[in-house]
Chain A
Amino acid sequence: MGESGYKNWQEKTLIPYIKKNPTRKEKFKTSSYLDVKDLYIDSDVENYEQNLGYPGQYPFTRGPYPTMYRGQFWTMRQYAGFGTAKESNERYKYLLRQGQTGLSVAFDLPTQIGYDSDSPMSEGEVGKVGVAIDTIDDMETLFRDIPLDKVSTSMTINATAFILLAMYIVVGKKQGVDKKLLRGTIQNDILKEYIARGTYIYPPKPSMRIITDIFDYCAKEVPKWNTISISGYHIREAGSTAVQEVAFTLADGIEYVKSAIEKGLNVDEFAGRLSFFFNAHNDILEEVAKFRAARRMWAKIMKERFKAKNEKSLMLRFHTQTGGSTLTAQQPENNIIRVTLQALAAVLGGTQSLHTNSMDEALALPTEKSVRIALRTQQIIAYESGVANVVDPLGGSYYIESLTDTIEKKAWEYINKIDELGGMVAAIEQGFVQKEIQESAYQYQMDIENKERIIVGVNSFQIEEEPPKDLLKVDPALRDEQIKNLQRVKSQRDNSKVLNNLKLLKEVAQSNENIMPVVIECVENYATLQEIADTLRQEFGEYKESVVI
């Protein structure tokens, strides 16, 4: 093959053909504006043999494990939670019966931002985007009849992750499960909250302190727990490109590792429990390349920058969610197809765990029926399509390898720039990261407005349609129910114990001590989420966004 063969083909075959049969567009680009050539051949990939590598071996481009899904499927982990702990508990038991293999908890916004259900800030929000948790009482209800030594639970919680983790540990204790056996993840990624998601409480410095306290505590006491899920999903949802998603996520990762090391932790002590969370977007081949580039880059970062020795520290393991922002309210059945393709991309890219969105999620939380279809999507890919029988099936494709290289190269440029700015925290304070995302988001949307980018059913192939029926609705009376329960718990607890615990928490916050033990005590004695969060608000202050439009 080679360059000369390619040129020959262009001259003799391609160009004459195009003269009579023009291509649809002048230039083709991926969803993230990377060029797509007319053909990919061997010379498009540098160091083909070396860079390819092997699964389970550094730099893990082809996968963290040598057998991948031939060993076990990815965890099918549908994010769920809404309303009261009791309703969510029902949904979790339903999903486990339907074959889901891990739990994923969604919390409502007040819980994520450290407000109890009776706070004025919680008006209209209680139980809407996830389950409302005010005290350990709610947490016990959430996991009733679910043995914590038998399931792994992922909790999408960030600013208040330390509180929810403490609650999970106490629930385990009450079930008789030692914390050394608990398996799961907390998202616990505050940097992306500042960038893209908005559920921060405290400013960066004290937030990093809390996060590294968790790394330290779990390394010793909860060794099977994944202490962070460094997230690119939300960055992508905020409108970034695939390159930016990788670059900013890994830059966040670098910042977390740096902070932990500065605190005095040994990198191999905690790095094996860092995990990642990516988006599976529309351009499926670009997504596959993106995942592979991320794995290769993180391995290099951990080995060269942080000198990690343990192999586990070098492996990027990740959870994927199909891109929520790609779902349309128009012709919602089309979303099933979108999600299928995106899920396929995640599997071809070697994800360790996967959430597939339901078709009605552009408008509401999913019904039982639509979440079942989303789960079946994963099961059909796993059991019927055959792709799980091959390790890194697209590896070696000229296009995929070339695209992996390109994404890696461009992502390094961003990481270097962020290093120049002084690291991720500095870059965020200066608004650099947000500005990059803003520009991409604006471009993406304008392309839709101009029909440069076609969204089927929205700016093309539209139909007249009736609004969808039977969407899930959260009962607004829920807030009152939750408040009543909260008042009951508060009246039955030992208030003097709680006050003492909170006082101790304040002192620990002011010192260098790890906050986790005292938070666990607070939680055990039925201190509320907000009482704990407010104690730290007084010590650490609250973060105000630096807005870039």
Chain B
Amino acid sequence: MSQSQEIQKLVDGVLNKKTRYIAKAISFVENSDYKTKKSFLKTIFSYTGKAKVVGITGSPGAGKSTITDKLIKAFRDDNKSVAVLATDPSSPFTKGALLGDRIRMQNHTTDPFVYVRSMASRGALGGLSETTKDALKVLDAAGFDIIIIETVGVGQNEIDIVKVADCVVLVFAPGFGDEIQAMKAGVMEIADIYVVNKADRDFSQKLFKEISDIVNLSQKQPKPPVLKTIATNTFKESSVESLKKEIVNYLDHIATSSHLAKKRQLFIESELIDTVTKIMIDKLLSNQNVKSFFDNKTIAQIYNKELNFYTIIDKIVEAI
């Protein structure tokens, strides 16, 4: 089979919601460089844009995966199909990854209207993988109503989600220390909804108050809600019903105002810049005229002050 026939098969499988093909397509975009996946992405482009994207972020241990698990159920009760991309960090040393978010969602695995995929960050530092956006497009084209993206969850630097999710939910839990840090670092501003999970624990009320105070100072319109949930390992209670309602309200609100369109256009702009930048850098580094400036001999000469660092930069720019 030729490459284009392969691609068409993949596209057909995705559009027909065949799980195996969706899975293969995500692997394809995860592992391929731009050149290889370009025509696939081009073909599915017109089928994207319908799904609503919810981002779940917050410190490890706050309960993101458990909340995601309960949200899946809540959306399924509304007859919505749900896909999840759960991100976990790759080890910077071994380059391997232990992807453990799925455990908390395994009971949904046999539901044909739920799809869960674990993604390793593979070196990306903003809380998502570099190919999360492409995987998102695959799931969008496959027709899922709601796509939930769970970030790695190490706090301060996790702002990639803002460029991807229509609604960002930030989850805190009492006793994880970095909640105050997060507030100081400005991570707070990324969220559209705030959640204090494990609200049955000590100090949760204090945390709830602290967060509510800060949110009250926010300029955002509409004012983001602050919720309490108890999403834990028990089956009975599930106060994520209120969270689901807030998410749906928010999504409806931004859809009817021009807010959603504005957001999506910002996403497009940012992705355009990112993608083109990457392509240009790849081109640059493979350009024969430019390559030589990056070899060990040149670098050593700069180190020995035989060449001027800034002169070299000018030379590279000229050569482009």
Contact = CB atoms under 8 A, between A and B. Distances in A.
Interface of A: 203, 422, 429-431, 540-547, 549
Contacts of A549: 98, 100
Interface string B96-137: 001010011001000000000000000000000000000000
Contacts of A431: 61
A422 B235 contact: no
B306 interface: no
9 A-B pairs closest in CB distance: A541-B235, A541-B236, A203-B234, A544-B233, A542-B235, A547-B103, A541-B234, A549-B98, A546-B233
Interface in B224-243: 232-236
A425 to B, nearest CB: 11
Given A543-B235, A544-B104, A547-B103, 16 more contacts: A203-B233, A203-B234, A203-B235, A422-B202, A429-B232, A430-B61, A430-B175, A541-B234, A542-B235, A544-B107, A544-B234, A544-B235, A545-B103, A545-B233, A547-B100, A549-B98
A542 B107 CA distance: 12
Contacts of B233: 203, 429, 543-546
B62 to A, nearest CB: 12
A142 B103 CA distance: 38
A429 B175 CA distance: 13
Contacts of B234: 203, 541, 543-544
Contacts of A544: 104, 107, 233-235
Interface string B218-259: 000000000000001111100000000000000000000000
18 contacts: A203-B234, A203-B235, A422-B202, A429-B232, A429-B233, A430-B175, A540-B236, A541-B236, A542-B235, A543-B233, A543-B235, A544-B107, A544-B234, A545-B103, A546-B233, A547-B103, A549-B98, A549-B100
A477 B103 CA distance: 33
A465 to B, nearest CB: 34
Residue among B61, B98, B232, B235 with most chain A CB within 10 A:
B235
Contacts of A546: 233
Contacts, number: 29
Nearest to B202: A422
Residue among B98, B107, B234 with most chain A CB within 10 A:
B234
B116 to A, nearest CB: 15
Nearest to A422: B202
A133 B183 CA distance: 56
B104 to A, nearest CB: 7
A174 to B, nearest CB: 36
Nearest to B198: A429
A183 to B, nearest CB: 36
A549 to B, nearest CB: 6
Nearest to B232: A429
A418 to B, nearest CB: 15
A546 B231 CA distance: 12
Nearest to B99: A549
A546 B175 CA distance: 17
Contacts of A430: 61, 175
A544 B106 CA distance: 10
Contacts of B175: 430
A113 to B, nearest CB: 15
A540 B232 CA distance: 14
Contacts of B104: 544
A541 B100 CA distance: 23
B166 to A, nearest CB: 29
Nearest to A537: B235
Interface string B261-280: 00000000000000000000
Contacts of B98: 549
Contacts of A422: 202
Contacts of A547: 100, 103
A302 B201 CA distance: 28
A228 to B, nearest CB: 23
Nearest to B236: A541
A194 to B, nearest CB: 9
A429 B234 CA distance: 11
Contacts of A542: 235
Nearest to B107: A544
A204 to B, nearest CB: 9
A544 B66 CA distance: 10
Contacts of A545: 103, 233
Nearest to A546: B233
A541 B107 CA distance: 14
A206 to B, nearest CB: 9
A97 B100 CA distance: 50
A112 to B, nearest CB: 19
B66 to A, nearest CB: 8
A186 B187 CA distance: 52
A71 B233 CA distance: 48
A545 B104 CA distance: 8
Contacts of A540: 236
